[in-house]
């Protein structure tokens, strides 16, 4: 069944790139509405932006969406991953500025707040996007690919030679509960030299060791170190999950990424929808519901009791 929040969720934080304070209110939405952002600071123009792949207008360092009135919201990927991973199908995200707060650099705060408030079944079947034909996009030696599968999986490889990150590969079956348990707390990461370049370009103004894993050659600058030995590739999987949420429905298929990022994942969705016979939307069968991302039975009991 489709799900939304039991009640409003309020979150306050700071934008990673803008450094500006940001307030979010996650509002329950009616069945079949999907995920929308509402810029409550914007007046006199359309301030509603659907969280969909064809609204993406920028993928440099984050995923940004923009409506036809030029109203935009940036750095949406971690929140979108949390919504996907918790099995939220309908929501309005009210925000008082142009950038979603970074929190600790992962999706864990968003997940925790969703779990604290709880979800409700809305009595309507869930639409799914079934991948029927393998689709792939490439840039240099990097690629992103979607192929048919009866549930949702992500396989990812990154390679940062000469750093403590090195080459990391991971794969995860995203059936019920896996995102919350295995990916949600993995933080965004960057190299020291990247920080210098980003700040020179007016970005990462709100970045710190409190919201990013910072790599300096053969060590991490963060005193606590990584949360997982492969935290960096896990975070890339988290990003991919958030970007794929922009398909408009949970995906039945396998995503493979090699050195991929926001740009390639969005290009992949664009190619998927432009390729005849590559995918189609349909209602999930009852037996398929456990194949979708969302809370496992234990988590869902907690959410319902929230």
Asked if residue 51 and residue 103 are part of one domain, the reply reads yes
Mean pLDDT, rounded, of the chain: 93
Asked if residue 182 and residue 87 are part of one domain, the reply reads no
Whether 188 has a pLDDT exceeding 50, the answer reads: yes
Asked if residue 151 and residue 56 are part of one domain, the reply reads no
pLDDT on residue 93: 98
CATH of residue 52's domain is 3.30.230.20
Asked if residue 290 and residue 195 are part of one domain, the reply reads yes
pLDDT on residue 73: 97
pLDDT on residue 296: 62
Asked if residue 203 and residue 164 are part of one domain, the reply reads yes
Asked if residue 136 and residue 121 are part of one domain, the reply reads no
- pLDDT tens profile 15-49: 887 888 999 999 999 999 999 999 999 999 999 99
Average pLDDT of the segment spanning 274-301:
83
Neighbours of 164 (CB within 10 A): 14
**Number of domains the chain is built from:** 2
Residue 23 CA: distances (Å) to CA of 36, 93, 179, 202: 16, 10, 25, 22
Is-above-0.85 flag for pTM? Answer: yes
Asked if residue 131 and residue 110 are part of one domain, the reply reads no
Asked if residue 118 and residue 143 are part of one domain, the reply reads no
Asked if residue 83 and residue 207 are part of one domain, the reply reads no
Contact predicate 6/120, CB 8 Å? yes
Whether 127 has a pLDDT exceeding 50, the answer reads: yes
Asked if residue 266 and residue 230 are part of one domain, the reply reads yes
Span of 85-89, 221-225, 267-271, 284-288 with lowest mean pLDDT: 284-288
Asked if residue 245 and residue 163 are part of one domain, the reply reads yes
pLDDT on residue 34: 98
Over the range 120-136, which residues count as b (16 or more CB within 10 Å of their CB) and which as e?
bebeeebbbbbbbeebe
Whether 303 has a pLDDT exceeding 70, the answer reads: no
CATH of residue 291's domain is 3.30.1700.10
Asked if residue 134 and residue 91 are part of one domain, the reply reads no
pLDDT on residue 294: 83
164: containing domain: 127-295
- Residues involved in catalysis: 262
Whether 200 has a pLDDT exceeding 90, the answer reads: no
């Amino acid at each position: 069944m489709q799900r939304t929040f039991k009640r409003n969720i309020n979150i306050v934080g700071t934008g990673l790139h803008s450094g500006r304070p940001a307030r979010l209110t996650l509002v329950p939405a009616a069945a079949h509405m999907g995920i929308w952002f509402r810029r409550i600071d914007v007046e006199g123009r359309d301030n509603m932006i659907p969280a969909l792949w064809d609204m993406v207008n920028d993928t440099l360092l984050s995923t940004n969406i923009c409506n036809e009135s030029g109203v935009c919201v940036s750095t949406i990927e971690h929140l979108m991953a949390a919504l996907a991973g918790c099995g939220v199908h309908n929501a309005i995200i009210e925000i008082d500025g142009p950038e979603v707060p970074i929190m600790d650099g992962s999706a864990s705060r968003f997940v925790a707040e969703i779990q604290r408030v709880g979800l409700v079944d809305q009595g309507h079947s869930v639409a799914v996007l079934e991948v029927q034909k393998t689709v792939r996009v490439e840039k240099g030696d990097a690629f992103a690919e979607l192929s048919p599968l009866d549930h949702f999986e992500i396989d990812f490889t990154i390679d940062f030679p000469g750093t403590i990150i090195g080459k990391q590969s991971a794969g995860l079956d995203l059936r019920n509960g896996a995102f919350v348990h295995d990916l949600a707390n993995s933080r965004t990461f960057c190299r020291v030299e990247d920080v210098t370049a980003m700040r020179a370009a007016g970005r990462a103004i709100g970045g710190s060791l409190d919201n990013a894993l910072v790599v300096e050659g053969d060590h991490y600058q963060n005193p606590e170190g990584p949360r997982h030995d492969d935290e960096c590739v896990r975070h890339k999987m988290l990003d991919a999950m958030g970007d794929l949420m922009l398909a408009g429905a949970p995906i039945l298929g396998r995503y493979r990424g090699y050195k991929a990022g926001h740009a390639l994942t969005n290009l992949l969705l664009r190619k998927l929808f432009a390729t005849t016979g590559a995918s189609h939307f349909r209602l999930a069968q009852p037996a398929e519901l456990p194949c979708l991302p969302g809370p496992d039975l234990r988590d869902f009991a907690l959410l319902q009791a929230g």
